[in-house]
Structure 1
Amino acid sequence: MSEFNYQISYGAQPAKVPAQPRIDPTAPLYASEDGVVASLSNSECIFQVKRSGETHVMTFHVLQALDQAREFRTLDEHVSRILTTIPGLTAQRDDVMRVLDSLVKRRLLVADRDFLGRTTTAPAREPAPLRAVFIRACDRPDQVAHLLASLADYERRHRANRHYVLVDDSSSRDAANRHRDLLREFARSTGCKLTYIGAAERERLVEKLTRAVPKAAPVLPALLAGGERGRFGGGRGWNLALLLSAGARAILLDDDHRLPLRRLDDAREGLDPNPSALASTRFFRNIENALGAGEEVEDDPFELHLAAAGRPLGAVVGQRRYAIDPAALRGLTLSRLDHLYGDAPILATHHGAYGSSRSESGQWLYQLSAEDRAEFARDRDSYLRNVEMASIWYGYRQARASGVANFTPFALDNSVLLPCTNPLGRGEDALFSRVTELCHSGALMLELPVAVGHVQETQRKRSPATLAAHTPRFNYFVADFIRTRLPEFSAEQPAQRLDLLAAHLRDVAGASEQGRVRQLQEYLAYARADLIERLQAQYDGAPDAPIYWQADVRSIIEANGRSLITPGVPRLGDWPENIDDTGCAQRLRDETLELAGFYEAWPALWTCAREQGERLLGAV
C-alpha cells in the first residue's frame, strides 16, 4: 500500500490552505466503508469492514485519511479535505492521491456505481397474490359513501374487478345497516365481489379461531372484536385484515379516504437515498382547493403500490421510475445508507394525504423546512387557519425507503408473518411499523410520491393539543420503548422476536408501582425534553420568522418546560384526565400485560389463518 509522510511542525508558519477543487459533475463519487478498528502496534491497526467482515492492516495515518473520506465525494474533494484537515500534508497531494487509489483497489473506498450495484442486485422473487382491498369503517356512512363512489369510478376506469372487504366497527345499528346498503349498491354498479364483516361475522370468526387455536381463546375477543367503550379501536379492524389476508398481499383503506391518488406538480422520479429527507407540506384555503391540488395519477393506484409491495428493493430501484441518481449520494455516508441493499424486502408501501391532516396535534408544523414554514406562516390570517390543518397536502416529492413509517400503509406483503397491533388506542399504525421493524430486521417500507384523499367528517380543533405539553398515547410509549430501550434481538424468526418483545413488556408490568410510575415519569420527561430541543433549534434557526410563529413556538416550549420543572401525574394521552399516580401505574401494568398476551398468541393465529387461506375469508 502507498504511504505518505506525516509530521507535525510546531512553531511553523500556518500552512497555506489549498484551493478547493473544481467539482467535476461527471466524476465518480467515493465513500469509505464502515468498520471496527483494533490496534496492532503504535503505528498499525486492523480495520474490519462491518458489511463483509473482511480485515485489512493499515497504519493509523492511512486510517485517518480513510476516516476523512466517509461521505460520497470525488477523489479530488477527498484529497483536498485530507490536506486541509490533517496537519503537515499540504505539499503531499500526489502521495495522498496514491493512498486513496490504493484504498479504492482494496474496496475500502466504494465508488457510487458499485454501491448502486448493491442496491439493484436481488434474486428473482414472485410476490404473493392480492387477497382483497380491506376498508376499515366505523359509524360514518357518509364517509363510506364518498369512498365507495371514488372506488366505483376507479373500477369503471380500470376494470380491475377487485375483491373489497368492509370491516365494520360501528356501534350504531343504523350506521351498520347503511353500510350494508351502500355495499349492495356498489356491488350492483361495479360487479365486484364484496364481503361485509360486522359484529356477528366477527363473533363467528372468533369462535372459529378459538376452536382452531385454543391457547389464544383468552385474548381473541379483545384482539378482534371487543374493546373499551368510547375508545378508538381501529387496531381491531387492522388485525382482522391481517388474519384474513395471511399468506397473501392486502390493500388497506379507511372510510375517510378517497381516490384518486394525486402527486405534487414538482414530484420527481427516482428514489431519494437520503434517510433524513423531509416531507413536503402545502396549505390551502379550504378543503376543495386541497382536494383539487396537484396532478391526478393516471396509473391504476393499486397496481402502482403492488408493483413494489412484496418485492425486493433491487427489483424496484431497477425500474426507471425508482432508480437512484448517483448525484443524490453526494454528502451521504455508507452508514446512513446501509438499509439500501438489493435483497431488502419491501413489506409495505405508504403515501401522503391531501385534504384533512392525519395527525391530532400540530407540533410537527413547527419543524417544517424553511420553504414550507414560509408558506405555513406567510400571513396572520392564513397562519391561524393552517394551524388547524383542515386543508393541507402532506407527502414526499420523491420515493423514499425506510425501516419505519408513522401512518397507515396502503399495500402490505402479508406472505410473511406481520405482527398484530394494539386493537385499542390511536397510534396503532406507528406501533405496527415499529414492531414490524423489530420482527423483520432489514425489511423496508416504501413511501411513494403520491397522496390519497383524506376527508374527515367534521373539522377538528387541533391547536389546543398543539400548544399543550406533549402527552404521547400508550401506543407511542410502546413504540418508543422498542426504539430506545430494547436491545437488538438475535433470533431469526419473527415469532421468536414477538415472544421476546412480550417478555420485555411483562418485565415492565412486573415492576413495583413506584417503578412503573418512575418509568412513566422518565418517558414523559424524555419525550418533552426531546421536543423542546428540536423546537429550540427551529426557533434559533429562524430569527426572521413572523412574530406570531415565534410566539407559538415559545408557548409550546414553555408548556413543555413547565411540565419538566413541576411534573404532575405521569398520564399518557389515552388515560382519564383525573387519574392519579396509582391509576397510571395500574393502567401501565394492565395494558402492557394485555399487549404482551396479544403478541404471544399472534404467531399461532396467523399461521392458522395462512393455512386456511381464502377459505377463512369465505367462511365469514
Structure 2
Amino acid sequence: MSSNVQFQYSFDATPQPLQRPVVRPDPNAPLFASEDALVASLSNNECIFQVKRTGDAHVMTFQVLQALDQCRDFRTLDEHVARVQTTIPGLENQRDAVKTVLESLVDRELLVSDDLFVSRLSDGRAARASKPLRAAFIRACDRPAQLDRLLASLADYERRFRSARHYVVLDDSSTEASIDRHRDLVREFARTTGCKVTFIGPAERQRLADKLAKALPAARAAIDSLLLPQPGATNFGGGRSWNLALLLSAGDRFVMFDDDHRLPLKRHELAASGLDLAPSRGAFARFFRNMEEALGAGEEIDADPFALHLDACGSGIGDLVARDAYKLDRESLRGLPLSRLTHLAPDARVLATMHGTYGSARSESAAWLYQLDAEGRADFTASREAYLANVEAQHLWHGTRQARLSSIAWFTPFAFDNSELLPCTNPLGRGEDALFSAAAHFCHPDALVLELPVAIGHVQEQSRRRSQRSLQASTPRLNHFATDYIQRQFGAFLASDPAQRLHLLAGIFRDLAGADEARRVTHLREYLNYVRADAIERLQQQFEAAANDSPIYWQADVRSIIDANGRALIAKGAPRLADWSDDIDPAGCAAALAREFNGLADQFDAWPALWSYAREQGERLLAGV
C-alpha cells in the first residue's frame, strides 16, 4: 500500500442553473470504469479509497465515492455524468461540476479508460518464449473403430500440412483384442504417414511405472494409483492416461485427443473474431437430424489446427490481446466492471486452450440443454419429434461464438502449457477434466483457459441415452464435488510456488477427510442442497423467461426437473454422490468421502517430485518407453 494519501476530492455545492442530462454518446468515444477498491470511513464526510490493484490510497468525500460507485461499468464519460446526475440527490443541476470531478478522476486513473486497461495488460513485458510441442497424445480405451477414424483424419491432416508430428497412443484398454487391434492401427498409421508414433499399452505403462518407482521408491503406491489400473476398480479411468501424458511431456507443451475425436477443426457461421468477456454469455448449441448432418456442418478452417492452438497456448494475456484474432475492442468491454476482469492481469497466461465439438455432446447428462439462450432453445424445441431426438444431445454443435477466457475448463482442453508444474488429476471417475482444471488454477492463480470459436468432430461408439439422467435430480460425481471444493479455496492463499500450493491443496483435502463423520455427512448434504437449489433457481428463471414462446413439452420437462430436484432437496436419504452405490447409507458416504479425499491428497503430495523427475528426464522418458 502507498504510504502517502494522495489527494482529496469534493463537489462544488454552489447551486447552478437547471441542466437536464442529455446523453448522445459518441460511438467512437473512449469508455471508462472505476477502479475496484476497498473503502474505509475517516469521518462523517470523508473516506479512504484503496485501489485493490495497486494498494494506492486516496481520500475523498462520500459524495465522490457515490459518483465512482455509479461509474463501475465501462461506459462513455457522458453516460457516467448523466447517471451520476440522475442517481445522486443534489447533483441534478451540476453537470459541469460532475464532469469536472470525473475528468479529474480520469487524470488520476481512478476512472480507467479502455485504452489504459488494455495497455496495462502488456505492462512493458516481453512476449513469453513458447516451449516446443513434445507430442500429440491420444487416449484410447477399447474402441478400435473410433481410433481408426481418428487416425484416418490425422493422416489426412499430415498429407495436407506435412507437419510430421510425434503421436503417442496411450492405450488403457481392458481386452487383449482391443490392444492388439490398436497396435496394428498405430503401425499402419506410422507406415502410411512416416510420422514418429509411440504406442504405450499395459506392458509399456508398467515398465514406465517401474522406472519412476525405481527413481522415487517412496512414491510407489502413488505411482501405481495414478498410472495403472487398480485391482477391483470399476470406475472409468480416463485420468490415468491424462496423468501419463503430463509426465511424458513435463517441461514442454502437448496436445491431447480422445479416441472418439476426429479432425478437421471447423468454424460455425456464428463464429467471430475478438474476445467475449461477458460472463453471462454461455456456449451456443445447434441441432441436426443425424450424425451425417452434424459432421457436415460448419466450414473447415484453413490454418493448421495444431498451430492455431499452439499460437495461443502459453502466451501472456498482453501478447494475446494484441493479435487481431483476440483483440479487445470497446464493445467487448462495454457494460463490464473492472471487478469482473481481475483475471485479465499482466501476469496472466494461457495455460491451456480448448474448442467445441460437432457430433456427439461431451457430457453424460444433457441438463445443460435447458439453459440455452432463446435461439438455441428454439432450435432445440423446433418440433416435438425433433425435441425427442435432441434431448439425447447426440447430433449437435456445441461451442462458443467468440474466443473466451476462463479460470477453469469443464471439458478436456486440447493444448497444454506443461512448462511449469501442472497437477495430476483423479485417475478414476468422470469429471477428471474439470478436477484437473480447478487444481491447475489453484496451483497457478494467474493462469487461464482459452476456448477458441472452433470445434472438433466427436463421434461416440454408440448412441447414448442422456435424457433419463437429465430429468433426474442433479447428483454430481466425486470429481465434480472435488472441483467445486477447490473453487471455494480460490483467492484464499498467498504462496506462489505451484508445488507448494499443490501440497497445500493436499492438506486442504485431508482436512475435510479428517473431519468427524457427522461433519462429513453435513458437508455433503449442504453441498447437494446447494447444487439442487441452484438448479431449481436457474430453471425457474429459464421457465419464466420462456413461458410465452416455448412449447408445452419443453415446459413439462422443465417442471419435471424442478420437481425432481425439489423432492431430492427435502429428502432424508443418504447424501450420495453419483459414483457411489444407490444403497449406501450416510456413514458409508462419510467413509467414501474420507477415503477418496485421502487418496487424492496422497497423489497431490507425491506428484511434484514425479513431475520434476519427468522434466529432468525430458525426451528420454518418452524415448525409453
TM range (shorter): over 0.9
Task: Quote the Cα distance in structure 1 between the aligned partners of 2:140 and 2:153.
Answer: 16
What is the aligned counterpart of 1:169 among 169, 172, 176? 172
- The answer to whether 1:154 aligns with 2:157 is yes
What CA distance in whole angstroms lies between the structure 1 residues aligned with 2:613 and 2:390?
A: 47
Q: Which moved more, 1:319-328 or 1:549-558?
A: 319-328
Query: Which of 563, 567, 574 is 2:572 aligned to?
Result: 567
Letter in 1 for 2:492: E
Cα deviation per residue 1:529-557 (whole Å; 9 max; x = unaligned)?
11111111111111211111111111001
How big is the shift at 1:486?
6.5
The answer on whether the counterparts of 2:33 and 2:112 sit within 8 Å (CA) in structure 1 is yes
Are 1:315 and 2:319 counterparts? Answer: yes
Equivalent position of 1:85 in the other structure = 87
- CA contact under 8 A between 1:282 and 1:393: conserved in structure 2? yes
Instruction: Pick from 573, 582, 588 the counterpart of residue 577 of structure 1.
Output: 582
Q: 1:450 aligns with which of 446, 454, 474?
A: 454
List per-residue Cα deviations over 1:291-316 (Å, max 9, x = no partner): 11111011000000000111111222
Say if 1:258 and 1:452, in contact at 8 Å, map to a contact too: yes
330, 346, 353: which is aligned to 1:349? 353
Q: Name the SS of the counterpart of 1:415 in structure 2.
A: coil
RMSD (Å), alpha carbons = 1.6
Report the Cα distance in structure 2 between the residues aligned to 1:265 and 1:511, rounded to whole angstroms.
52
- The separation in 1 between residues aligned to 2:19 and 2:461, in whole angstroms, is 63
Distance in structure 2 (CA, Å) of the matches to 1:175 and 1:574: 26
SS of alignment partner, residue 386 of structure 2: helix
Which moved further from structure 2: 158-167 or 338-347?
A: 338-347
Q: How far apart are the structure 2 equivalents of 1:589 and 1:486?
A: 22
* Matching of residue 213 in structure 1 with residue 228 in structure 2: no
Deviations 1:401-439 (A, max 9, x none): 111110001000000000000000000000001111100
1:157-187 CA deviation, whole Å, 9 max, x = no partner?
A: 0000000000000001000000000000000
Mapped partners of 1:212, 1:17: distance in 2: 78
Deviations 1:119-141 (A, max 9, x none): 34432221111100000000000
Q: TM-score, normalized by length of structure 2? A: 0.96
Residue in structure 1 matched with residue 621 of structure 2 by the alignment: 616
Provide, for residues 314-345 of structure 1, a one-character-per-residue CA deviation record: whole Å limited to 9, x for no partner.
22211111111122211000111111124311
- Among 223, 229, 234, the residue aligned to 1:230: 234
Q: Is the 8 A contact 1:315 1:342 kept in 2?
A: no
How do residues 222-301 of structure 1 correspond to structure 2 at under 5 angstroms? 222-227=225-230, 228-301=232-305
| Corresponding position of 2:563 | 558
Distance in 2 between residues matched to 1:25 and 1:308, nearest whole Å: 30
Return closer, same or farther for 1:229/1:187 CA change in 2, 3 Å cut-off. same
Deviates more, 1:398-407 or 1:157-166: 398-407
Distance apart, 1:276 and its partner CA: 2.9
Per the TM alignment, residue 273 of structure 1 is displaced from its structure 2 partner at its CA by 2.2
Structure 1 SS opposite 2:38: strand
Secondary structure of 2:488's aligned partner:
helix
Aligned to 1:53: 55
The answer as to whether partners of 1:417 and 1:606 remain within 8 angstroms in 2 is yes
Which of these residues, 475, 496, 503, is aligned with residue 499 of structure 1? 503
What SS class does the counterpart of residue 282 from structure 1 fall into?
Answer: strand
Q: Conserved in 1, the CA contact under 8 Å of 2:19 and 2:95? A: no
1:515 to 511, 514, 519: 519
Q: Is it true that 1:62 corresponds to 2:98 in the alignment?
A: no
Which amino acid in the other structure matches residue 111 of structure 2?
Answer: L
Distance 1:477 1:396 in 2: 25
Matched residues, percent identical? 61
Match of 1:590 in 2: 595
How far has the Cα of 1:19 moved from its partner? 5.0
2:76 matched to which residue of 1?
74
1:4 and 2:11 are equivalent in the alignment: yes
8 Å Cα contact 2:19-2:94 kept in structure 1: no
TM-score when normalising by structure 1: 0.97
The letter for the 2-side match of 1:576 is S
Say whether the 8 Å CA contact 2:9–2:64 is kept in structure 1: no
1:336 paired residue number: 340
Gaps of 5+ in 2: 1-7
Residue 17 of structure 1: how far off its partner (Å): 9.7
How far 1:143 sits from its partner (Å)? 0.2
1:391 matched to 2:395? The reply is: yes
Contact 1:17–1:84 (8 Å) recurs in 2? no
Q: Is the contact made by 2:21 and 2:95 (CA closer than 8 Å) also made in structure 1?
A: no
Task: Give CA-to-partner distance per residue, 1:570-608, whole Å, 9 cap, x none.
Answer: 111111122222222221111111111000000000000
Q: Structure 2: how far apart are the matches of 1:528 and 1:275? A: 22
**Alignment correspondent of 2:5:** none
**Residues paired across the two proteins, number:** 614
Cα drift, residue 619 of structure 1: 0.9
Matches within 5 A, 1:124-203: 124-203=127-206
